[in-house]
Every structure is written in C-alpha cells, then in structure tokens.
Amino acid sequence: MTVRNGQGQQGVGRLRPGGSAVPLSEAYDTALLDLDGVVYAGGEAVPHAVEALGVARAGGMHLAYVTNNALRTPDAVAEHLTELGVPAEAGDVITSAQAVARLIADDVPPGSRVLVIGGEGLRVALRERGLVPVDSAEDEPVAVVQGYGGPEMPWGRFAEASYAVARGLPWYASNTDLTIPGARGIGPGNGAAVEVVRIATGGRVEPKVAGKPLPPMHRETVLRTGARRPLVVGDRLDTDIEGAFNGGVDSLLVFTGVTDAAQLLRAVPEHRPTYVAADLRGLLVGQPEVVAEEDGSFVCGGWRASVSAPSGGELVLEGPAEAAAGAAADPMDAVRALCGAAWSAADAVGGGVPDAGKVLARLGL
C-alpha cells in the first residue's frame, strides 16, 4: 500500500499506514497544515515545527495553513506565524470563516445582514463576501453564524444566537470541533458553543457546517491554493484526517495535538491517516513500509504486531529486532505496525477492536 504519487483514495479505508520511498516534502507539492496542535499550541510554536517547516519550504514545498479556528483573520494568523519564525502571508492562510462566509453568500442576497457569534475573523470573511455583520437578533439579520470566539466569549452571545435560531433564521457554523488545544491543555471549541445553542433551541434544527471535514472547507482550500498533489497534515482524526478522506487526498497525522496512539488504533476507516509521525519532522523523511505477513502479523522497522485472537483479543508487539548497524528502533514504527494489526482486525468479518493497553504502556504512549 505504498503511496509515492500523492494520490489519495476517496471512500476507501486503509488497513495499514502507507509508505513513501522519498521524503514527503518531495512527494507532495503542497502541505495543507492545520494550525492548533500542529504548528502552534496556545500561541507558542510546537517543538520542531519551525525548523521542519523551514526545511520543507527551502526544498520547494508550498506551505498552506488550513484551520477550523475562525477567531482570527488570515492577516493576523500570518503575522503570528511570521513572529514564530514561520514566514507566511495572508494568502497562505485558509480559515473556516472564509469557507462558511462563501457558503452563506451562496444562499442569501448580496448585502444581507448576518448575525455573528464569533470573532473578527468571521466578520472580515463575511464582509469579503459582500455581507453585513450585525450583533443582535433585533438588527433584522437573514441568517446567524457561529465561529470560535475565544475563551472570553460572553454567555449572552449564545443567547442571541438562540433567539435568532428559534425564530427560524438559517443557522450556520464555521466548524463543530468540540475542543481546541491550548498552552494549558484542551479547552472547549466552537462545537461546544454550537451544542449550547442546539440545546437552548430544543435540538429541532441543525446548522449548516463549513469546516473540516466537510466539503465546503475542501472546496475553499482547493480554490485558494491551487494544489495539485496536496498532503493534509493534522492532529485530529475527525476533522483533518476525515477531511482528507472525504476529499480523496493523502494525510499525515502528528501526535502534537489532541490525538493519541490509543485513539489512532481505534480509528474507523475514514479516520485512518496515510502516514503517521511524532511531529512535523515527519515531512522531511520517507515513510517506512508496513508489511503484511502471511501469518496475519504486520512488520515495520523491526517491530512485529499481531492480534492474540481473531475476534478482538489483545494486540501483541514483538521487537524491536536487531536493527541494521546497531541503529535504535523508532517507536513510531511500532505504532505503524500496530495500526496494521488493529485496523485489519477491526475490519475483519466478525472482528472487534483489539485491546492496546499493554503494548502502548510498553511504548510509554
């Protein structure tokens, strides 16, 4: 299942991670990078991110930053990235605010008023589409849109959205990420705010959502980047990786944000990335092949993973075998092999998700 040409498989769930004979920064022309939990967390650069992105860019890879966070404008995001040591321009940044603004503009007449529950990024995106942001349900809006407004968002803003939705106004959301990583840990995201409004309005209506993993965000990204062989890079299975799956493009999961190894091993087909790496340094190297053996085990980099029983059971990990020239075995290779064993077992007829507790404790993951 080696992938060397950057062509994803839409609608096909993989049974093991893919391999690449060349560094990913050479195999793909554009990296579509998530921001929170991938490039930075809580405003500070993720370890190794600045250096890895600098090398990838110097080698000719185009870097685009695709975020479900609608709080800030592309200008503000680009300025922040540049301050961190990752040179960027506003045109390199694609946000869910831009995607939802296009979605609304397709549905309402130009110049329409839209009730905004969110930050400046959402307001700027609406104005770019010829729409007029307003603050109250009494301002005669024709629609209401929610986007992440930051941890200081007043509770009254959710009440304002609830009044508008209850009156039957079309309801939009930039994204529905329930959480967002920050410097102090994982906090509530825009999806949690959407749930507040849903509960207050009796759960009778659903918002139109633009952000990852849904098609409007993929459309916005393609239109703005012109990427031909893109690689989605993210930390979330249910947005970044599923979005890549839905768009039929390849993906790289990094473990610097919200997803851990246990969640990856339990991933349903649409949440399984093409590649796995500890952090963004994974862009700069090839990806080892995960080999399926005749006995049902999976081998990667000296590690062998299998399942103790056909219908679920426990994951079993052997190795590392003696590495060539005394090189240290990479625990990420163990994770890759375990993915093969776990995903294949889960997808087998009558199969179940095998228990990974013991092997992950051994790896310290």
CA gap 165, 137 in Å, rounded: 9
Token duo for residue 335: 């994770």
CA-based nearest residue to 106, from 130, 90, 88 = 130
Q: Can you say whether the dihedral through the CA atoms of 243, 116, 107, 170 is positive or negative? A: positive
Identity at 3, one-letter amino acid code: V
Q: How far is it, in rounded angstroms, from Cα 209 to Cα 173?
A: 5
Cα separation of 58 and 331, whole Å? Answer: 28
| Spatial CA neighbour of 178 closest among 222, 134, 129, 239 | 239
* Residue 133 CA to its chain's centroid (Å): 28
Q: How far apart are CA 68 and CA 273, in angstroms?
A: 18
Q: Which residues pair with 99 in a beta bridge?
A: none
d(CA 59, CA 267) in angstroms, rounded, equals: 33
Q: Are 337 and 320 in contact (CB under 8 A)?
A: no
Give yes or no: 36 in active site.
yes
Catalytic residue flag (residue 34): yes
Q: Note if the bond before 320 is cis, omega within 30 degrees.
A: yes
Which residue out of 34, 235, 240, 333 is catalytically annotated? Answer: 34
Task: Tell how strand 113-117 and strand 93-95 pair up.
Answer: unpaired
**Which residue, 199, 287, 344, 266, is CA-closest to 21?**
287
Please tell me which residue in 29, 36, 279, 355 is annotated as part of the active site: 36
Q: Name the phi and psi angles at 189, rounded to 5.
A: -100, -170
Cis check: omega of the bond before 216, within 30 degrees of 0: no
In the chain, which residue ranges form alpha helices assigned H by DSSP?
24-27, 49-58, 74-84, 96-107, 120-128, 155-166, 190-200, 215-225, 242-247, 261-265, 331-347, 357-363
Q: Tell me the C-alpha distance between 203 and 195, whole Å.
A: 9
d(Cα 359, Cα 338) in Å, to the nearest integer? 9
The token duo for 304 is 């062998």
Q: Annotated active-site positions, please?
A: 34, 36
